[in-house]
Amino acid sequence: MKFGLREILAQSHVAGVAIAVLLLWTLDNAFRALWGPVSRVGTFVYTAVAILRIPYFNPRLDWPDRTMLMMTLLYLSGAVVYLLGAWLLSHWVYGMGPLRSLRECHARFTGRHHA
């Protein structure tokens, strides 16, 4: 009995684990991408509340701002690539999206089948 690669990946739960890991990496990169800008906004708001007026803001992008922007874009592009990889793998193996395929894998693994 010969099985194709898709059937082997689906039956051995390797694809489900790979999809879960890719989705975790997507979340990790998305949080890392947003950490720099959110912390800058938080610092700005905290300073504004502390001094009870709008703090000085330099509209020019200096070296740390450019570095933060570049890192944000790199992390966001990594998150998009990981999400695309999870989506392609889940559609190739299971024929559905990544979250639905993980739900189906969990149901098959635990033996529960919910509608």
Residue 59: pLDDT above 90? no
Q: How confident is the model at residue 1 (pLDDT cuts 50, 70, 90)?
A: low
Q: Left if phi > 0, otherwise alpha if psi is -120 to 50, otherwise beta: which for 64?
A: alpha
What's the structural domain count of the chain? 1
Kindly state the average pLDDT of the residues 96-112: 87
Residue 23: pLDDT above 80? yes
Residue 48 inside a domain? The answer is no
| % of the chain residues with pLDDT over 90 | 72
Q: Which residue has the tokens 């889940």?
A: 90
Query: Cα(61)–Cα(68) distance, rounded to whole angstroms?
Result: 10
Q: Left if phi > 0, otherwise alpha if psi is -120 to 50, otherwise beta: which for 62?
A: beta
Residues spanned by the domain of 24: 5-38+69-110
Residue 22 inside a domain? The answer is yes
Prediction pTM value: 0.84
